[in-house]
Amino acid sequence: MLKIERHTTDILILGSGGAGLFAALHAKQQNPDLDITIAVKGLLGKSGCTRMVQGGYNVALNPGDSIERHFMDTIVGGKWLPNQDLAWKLCVTAVERIQELENELGCFFDRNPDGTLHQKAFAGQSFDRTAHKGDLTGIEIINRLMEKVWTLNVNKLEEHRAIELIPAADGSGIAGVLMIDIRTGSYRYIQAKTVLLGTGAGPSMYRYHTPSGDKSCDGLAMGLRYGLALRDMEMVQFHPTGILAGSATRMTGTILEEGLRGAGGYLLNGSGERFMQNYHPAAERATRDIVSRSMYNEMKTGNTTPEGGLFIEMAHLGPDNVRDKFPGMVKRCEDCGFDLAAGRVEVVPTAHYMMGGIEMGIDCTTSSPGLYVAGEDAGGVHGANRLGGNGVANSTVYGGVAGEEMAKAIAAGAPLRDADEVVIESGIARAEHPFSQPPGDMMALRETLWGDMWDHVGILRTQKSVQQGQHCLRQHRDSLNNVGLTDANRAFNLTWHDWLNLDSLIDISCVIASASLAREDSRGAHYREDFPDTGALETSAYTLVSGNPENIHCEMRQVEFSIVQPGESLIEGEAGAPPPTTA
Amino acid sequence: MTPLNKHQSYFAAIGHRFSGVLLSLFLPVHFLLLGTALEGEANFDRYLAFADNPLVKFAEWGLVILLSLHLFFGLRVLMLEFTSWPATKHLGKGENPMIRRWSSWVIPSVIASAFIGVIFLVQSF
Amino acid sequence: MKERHLFLLQRLSAIFLAPLVVLHLVVIMIAVRNGLSAEEILNRTQGNYFWGGFYVLFVVSVSIHAPIGIRNVLREWTAIPKTQVNQICIFLAVIFLMSGLRAVAAVI
Amino acid sequence: MPTNNSNSEQTAKQEMLEVRVWRGQGQGQLKPYQVPLRKNQTVLDVITEIQRLQAPDLSYRFSCRVGVCGSCAMTVNGKPRWTCRTHVSKVADEGVLTIEPLRNLPKIKDLVCDLAPFIDTWQKAGAVFKPTGTRYDAPAKVDPDSACRRAADASLQCINCAVCYSACDVVNWNKDYVGPAALNRAWTLLNDVRHDERAATLDKVFEDGGCGSCHSHGNCTRHCPIELSPSASIAGLKRTLFTGLPGK
Ligand SMILES: Cc1cc2nc3c(=O)[nH]c(=O)nc-3n(C[C@H](O)[C@H](O)[C@H](O)COP(=O)(O)OP(=O)(O)OC[C@H]3O[C@@H](n4cnc5c(N)ncnc54)[C@H](O)[C@@H]3O)c2cc1C
Ligand code: HEM
Ligand code: SF4
Ligand code: F3S
Ligand code: FES
């Protein structure tokens, strides 16, 4: 048997995005004596997507705006699927959180000429409420947060990958987490009174995707195996303009910012013609889901670019003007060999965000005592669609909440539980599995998985396509189990981690497929060509998946309209309508 | 590991440093010999005769060059540190103009020092 | 004396030295023209308060400037411990100052 | 349906890139590989291709792949660079790439370094924000055109990639020197009117190994991938000796 190092801590946090770091901070603020450990797959604060946030942070700060407005936009944008209590708490706490970021942590957001915070417009919102720092807001947020957490006395397990949530032997709750120390390749078990899942989900099972390379739905996959239920998993948001540069570059799938379309950029098909006006009156300026869907339809006609996508063109706005207005994007394209200012760049819709996730209570609890969840790993806040700017608000708000709640739980006597050693052993066996198999073509497997999810469970779905997808997934599961690794050096063995990434991604792909099949309507990010109608809002139900991937169970649960009923509104005027101030 | 690719301002810094160190080694000697003038003009003239020795001339010539090199490179550092920089974020606009300007100061500094060395030679023979 | 004072002194002395060195270089150029003689030099300098002041300033500035410079070099390029480096540099400063002032006295 | 196969890559004779990669744990040497030259190819892509197809145990670090996380910096043909945003055609010297880990940092394995000593410099330089407000106050009003705010803005948004740290010879020479990135952050704090202990930060910045140790080599600024100017920030710090704290 392999030797496992064992440690004990009060609070174990998985992930160091907005959720993980805020949890550590707020737990320490509640009680500085707590022993806190952050385990993260990459480097602390340097991995995950919070850092990649471009547009900004939604918060109702302006006297002309209101919590109610923000809330209604969130509910209407989420097509009445959000858990309203969660959405309400998001909107309320965002105000306190952004002020904490500004005032206590030192984020320096952009200002209006009168010195107040500048807030810009994001599609689908009735007010200009997105606070930002240029077009790289995430760097400012996560750097300040990270600098703060560096100064706290917390144990940092960087480059540690969680591989299994370990229940208590007596079934009373969470006992700890099994992980791999990536740098040495050895196993480590951390026993903790409370555990936070903040691994940030991330739809990286699609051919084109935006999240950082360390995100592969590990948290969701572990949660599912552990017995937690996942909601809204069919809701995968696609961003319209991912760079398309061929399968051999990691640049493919990364985002060109939304502002390009907002400023008047054109989307062109393979023959260089605009097409968006054929799909929607707002043409290129329509919301993410509409543009992505239209682009996908256009691509289906076969009128595509050499790489099989479409073009974005800005040159008609004047190359110098474009260079001036979008220096970051122009430079990014230039670095990968494209001329955004004067030429055309190939783009394709790209999988961006998972609205779904582990079912969470208002205090970030899960169905298992001691186990908490926050950020993109959690489901229920956004429903069928996430507003641009609500993602980072979600991770920072609920990360902080989780930190406070975990500290409180410990003050109230949360126990250290004894591990179910059988699960530790099966967790290790699972991770060891590839070393018992002959090396194979993992590259090809990854590409086919990506392709199958993109083609069959992607932007447009039908019962047939999803079933086809499920069939493929079963094959991929078998193939993965037969692909192995040479057991030469386990230290920082990325190929081993590629295998483990695929393992998680295949499991969660099965979940997405199952939820997509269950939802027989089209709303938000989910579009069924065989059920194109939204369906009655009053009877809106959400999907809830549980079980193991070979034996998945999906049920539909009625949404509780605890604050506002479909047809009602908390505001005058129209939620989600473009703000009166913007062009 | 391959060493860092060397660049003009690196050579400026190294040149500045070597000239500074050599000057520092020479200067006390220079002071001491000058000080021997205390013991009368005769001594001092002996020193000057010694200084007429071609080898010593050659050394002095080197020191004049070192002094002017150190001067030019020193001014360069002072300008970089104490004059104001242009707006510093130039996304996509290439090398920082301040760095470029004071890098282009390096070669003229060397040429100017060499020129001063030539004048010294012309003057002393 | 703190690091910031040493840094400030070195830069200030450098700013001071710049014109002095320029002048000194010019004087050398003129002086070497006809071959040096003690008489000439001493004639120029003896009893001359301007040159007296000039060289005193030069000596004092260099005694500040050079040892601090050498201190950086020793700290960065040798393994000599910090306190010893400081002692060496104080010693250097004293040598510079003594020998320099003696020379000035000799020529004035 | 769209596919991602580009036929432009299937030219009869594939041009190859000679790549030499530093391999080892603690000690190591350059090992040669050959990778097909492609149209859209960053240095990170080259390394990825080697790991995926030729050397499965090759270690390197990356995360965002678009130049915001600062995880992927390495030494490429002698210069520190962010590899995810470095197009091969810009750096390949006659079809040859030499890829090594960053300088001035402890090596972990192959192309991966330990960034901890670099991260520690923030505290050493006193680059830690001390708040004047709380989460219950409205954000402070700051004139976006004030000199201070402009200075802070110009040096903000460092991605902590350690490229500057690795490019600076003084960091190599002087073990006590905190290096350009931390000093750059300290400068933004001095220009941040909301920062409570500006005087204390200034004191800390001038301690042994602080801004006085910088010799204005400028190599940090020359290499910073997002074109910040740590040299300018450090010069700003030095200038406070004459001007005092930057005005509000
Ligand atoms: C390019 C891009 C732009 C975006 N722009 C915006 C925007 O403008 N506005 C907005 O509101 N939202 C935006 N989002 C969404 C937003 O970034 C996320 O919703 C949010 O930041 C997620 O935070 P998180 O803390 O849950 O996860 P992340 O910040 O992604 O952090 C996840 C952490 O978990 C770690 N981890 C993963 N697996 C494991 C494991 N097995 N073991 C240990 N650790 C693990 C990761 O390394 C990472 O540290 C954007 C996302 C992307 C990708
Ligand atoms: C012409 C006037 C001079 C100017 C403008 C000048 C300027 C400077 C400056 C700015 C530095 C700091 C360099 C750095 O930290 O990188 C320096 C260093 C130094 N100077 Fe001078 N200096 C002058 C004259 C002298 C003289 C006459 C001597 C010696 C006798 C001298 C010896 C040194 C030494 C040894 C260093 C340290 C070099 C280093 O740190 O690399 N300087 N000088
Ligand atoms: S200053 Fe520039 S080079 Fe240095 S760490 Fe920051 S981003 Fe990287
Ligand atoms: S390269 Fe180093 S010496 Fe100073 S200006 Fe930059 S920190
Ligand atoms: S991978 Fe994030 S900066 Fe290169």
Inter-residue contact C59 to C97 (CB < 8 Å): yes
pLDDT of C39 strictly over 80: no
Of the listed ranges A101-105, B25-29, B64-68, the least confidently predicted one is B25-29
A308 burial (CB, 10 Å; 0-12 / 13-18 / 19+) is buried
Residue D49 placed within a domain = yes
pLDDT given for residue B54 in this prediction: 74
Domain of residue B38 covers 9-82+96-124
Strands across the sheet containing A310-313:
A236-243, A344-354, A310-313, A266-268
Q: Which runs of consecutive H residues, i.e. helices, occur in D30-124?
A: 43-53, 88-91, 116-124
CA distances A348 to A79, A180, A454, B29, Å, are: 25, 35, 12, 74
Whether B102 maps to a domain, the answer reads yes
Per-residue pLDDT tens over the stretch A489-511:
899 999 999 999 999 999 999 99
Question: Sorting pLDDT into bands at 50, 70 and 90, what band is B40?
Answer: low
Structural domain of D162: 116-243
Q: How far is CA A29 from CA A32, A97, A193, C11, in A?
A: 6, 14, 18, 45
Question: What residues pair up with B54 in beta bridges, in sequence order?
Answer: none
Please tell me which residue, A580 or A136, carries the higher pLDDT value: A136
Q: Mutation test of ligand 3: which of D83, D159, D166, D227 has the most ligand atoms closer than 8 Å to its C-beta?
A: D159
Residue C105: per-residue pLDDT: 85
**Alpha-carbon gap, residue A122 to D128, rounded angstroms:** 32
Output the six-digit token pair for A502: 């695929």
pLDDT category of residue A67 using cuts at 50, 70 and 90: very high
Rounded Cα gap, residues B56 and B35, in angstroms = 18
According to DSSP, the β-strands at A4-14 and A186-197 are parallel
For residues B86-94, give the mean pLDDT. 62
Which has the minimum average pLDDT: A241-255, B57-71, C31-45, D141-155? C31-45
Most confident among A67-81, A567-581, B19-33 (mean pLDDT):
A67-81
- What is the number of CB-based contacts under 8 A between chain A and chain D? 227
Output phi, psi for A360, to 5 deg: -130, 145
Q: Are residues D104 and D182 in the same domain?
A: no
Residue A280 has pLDDT above 90, yes or no: yes
Q: Quick one: average pLDDT of A548-567? A: 94
Q: Note whether D61 and D132 are same-domain residues.
A: no
Would you state the pLDDT for residue D39? 85
- Tell me the per-residue pLDDT of C50-64, one tens digit each, with 9 for 90 and over: 888 998 999 999 999
List the CATH number of the domain containing D68.
3.10.20.30
CATH number of the domain where residue C10 is located: 1.20.1300.10
Give the pLDDT confidence score for residue C36 in this predicted structure: 60
Nearest Cα of chain A lies from the Cα of B85 at a distance, in angstroms, of 21
Residue B38 has pLDDT above 80, yes or no: no
Q: Do D42 and A249 touch (CB under 8 A)?
A: yes
Closest CA to A226 of A353, A354, A359: A359
Sequential DSSP letters for A45-68: TTSSSGGG--S-EE---STTS-HH
Q: What is the pLDDT of residue D1?
A: 40
Give residue A295's pLDDT: 97
3-state secondary structure of A153: coil
pLDDT class for C49, splitting at 50, 70, 90? confident
Q: Give the model confidence (pLDDT) of A294-341 as tens digits.
A: 999 999 999 999 999 999 999 999 999 998 888 888 888 887 778 999
Which of the four pLDDT bands, split at 50, 70 and 90, describes residue D11? very low
pLDDT of residue B31: 86
CA distance B38 to D83: 66
Give the helix ranges, DSSP H, for chain B.
Answer: 8-35, 41-52, 54-82, 97-103, 106-124
Q: Does residue D136 sit in the same domain as residue D213?
A: yes
- Does residue A556 carry a pLDDT above 80? yes
Q: Can you give the pLDDT at residue A573?
A: 85
DSSP A484-504: B---S--TT-HHHHHHHHHHH
Tell which of D113, D139, D173 closes a domain.
D113
Q: Is residue D183 part of a domain?
A: yes
How far apart (Å, rounded) are the C-alpha atoms in residues D70 and D66? Answer: 9
Residues D29, D63 within the same domain = yes
Comparing CA positions, the residue from A116, A135, A145, A129 lying closest to residue A46 is: A145
Q: pLDDT-based confidence at D26, cuts 50/70/90?
A: confident
CA atoms within 13 A on the CB side of A451: 15
**Residues B99, D231: C-beta atoms closer than 8 Å:** yes
Residue of D93, D168, D188, D215 to mutate when probing chain B, most B C-beta within 10 A: D215
CA nearest neighbour of A381 among A29, A93, A141:
A93
- Split at pLDDT 50, 70, 90, the class of D4 is very low
Point out the ligand 5 atom lying closest to the alpha carbon of residue D62: 1
Domains identified in chain D, total number: 2
Residue B60: φ, ψ to 5°:
-60, -40
Is the distance from CB of D104 to CB of D166 less than 8 angstroms?
A: yes
Test B89 with D227 for CB contact under 8 angstroms: yes
How is residue B122 written in tokens?
Answer: 């012309």
- Is B25 inside a domain boundary? yes
Q: Residue type at A274?
A: R
Kindly tell me if the per-residue pLDDT of C46 is higher than 80: no
Of D211, D203, D164, residue with least CA distance to D183: D211
Say whether both D67 and D122 belong to one domain: no
Our count of domains for chain C comes to: 1
* Residue ranges making up the domain that contains C35: 3-107
Minimum CA distance residue for ligand 3 atom 5: D160
Q: Which residue(s) pair with D22 in the sheet?
A: D30
| Residue B84: exposure state from Cβ atoms within 10 A (0-12, 13-18, ≥19) | exposed
Which chain B residues are Cβ-neighbours of A327 within 8 angstroms? 91-92
Q: Are D24 and D31 in contact (CB under 8 A)?
A: no
pLDDT single digits (tens) A432-478: 999 999 999 999 999 999 999 999 999 999 999 999 999 999 999 99
- The interface pTM score, or ipTM, of the predicted complex is 0.94
Asked if the C-beta of A435 comes within 8 angstroms of chain D's C-beta atoms, the answer is no
> Is a pLDDT exceeding 60 seen at residue A583?
no
**Ligand 5 binding residues, C-beta < 6 A:** D 62-65, 67-72, 82, 84
| CB distance B82 to ligand 2 below 6 Å | no
Q: What is the pLDDT of residue B55?
A: 72
End position of a domain, from candidates D113, D131, D150: D113
What are the backbone angles phi and psi of residue D10, rounded to the nearest 5°?
-90, 40
Same domain membership, residue D238 and residue D124: yes
Q: Which of D113, D140, D171 is the last residue of a domain?
A: D113
Average pLDDT, chain B: 83
Residue A119's nearest CA partner among A108, A127, A128 is A128
Whether residue A209 contacts residue A27, with contact meaning beta carbons closer than 8 Å, is answered with: no
> How far is it, in rounded angstroms, from Cα D55 to Cα D221?
35
Q: Which of D3, D63, D138 sits opposite A42 (nearest CB)?
A: D63
Residue B52's CB is within 10 A of a number of other CB atoms, namely 12
pTM equals 0.95
Q: Identify the nearest ligand to the CA of B71 by its number.
A: 2
Q: Which among B2, B89, B98 has the least Cβ separation from residue D100?
A: B2
Residue B34: give its domain's CATH number: 1.20.1300.10
- Kindly identify the ligand whose nearest atom is closest to the C-alpha of D85: 5
Q: What is the pLDDT of residue A580?
A: 65
Per the domain annotation, does B88 fall within a domain? no
Catalytic residue selected from A144, A231, A261, A456: A261
Q: For residue A50, is pLDDT > 70?
A: yes
- pLDDT band of C31, cuts 50, 70, 90: confident
Of all residues in chain A, what percent carry a pLDDT higher than 70?
Answer: 99
Number of compact structural domains in chain B:
1
**Rounded Cα–Cα distance for residues C108 and B35 (Å):** 11
Strand order in the sheet with A378-379: A378-379, A357-359, A230-231, A541-548, A551-558
Asked whether residue D12 carries a pLDDT value surpassing 70, the answer given is no
Q: Is the dihedral of CA C84, C88, C91, C93 positive or negative?
A: negative
Same domain, yes or no: D130 and D232: yes
- Contact in structure between A214 and D63 (CB atoms under 8 Å): yes
Which of A132, A239, A417, A456 is the catalytic position?
A239
* Sign of the torsion angle spanned by Cα atoms C55, C56, C61, C62: positive
In the residue annotation, A261 being an active-site residue is answered as yes
Region A228-232: mean pLDDT is 98
- Helix A137-151 to helix A390-411 angle (10° resolution) is 20
Neighbouring chains of B at 3+ CB pairs within 8 Å?
A, C, D
The model's confidence at residue B43, banded by pLDDT at 50, 70 and 90, is: low
Is A189 exposed, middle or buried (CB count within 10 Å of its CB: 0-12, 13-18, 19+)?
A: buried
Residue C30 in 3-state DSSP?
A: helix
Does residue A247 carry a pLDDT above 90? no
Instruction: Let me know if residue B110 belongs to a domain.
Output: yes
Q: Is the pLDDT of residue A486 over 90?
A: no
Q: How would residue D5 be classed by pLDDT, with cut points 50, 70 and 90?
A: very low
Reported as a single tens digit per residue, the pLDDT across D73-122 is 999 999 999 999 999 998 988 889 999 999 999 999 999 999 999 999 99
Q: In 3-state terms, what secondary structure has residue A345?
A: strand
pLDDT value at residue D141? 95
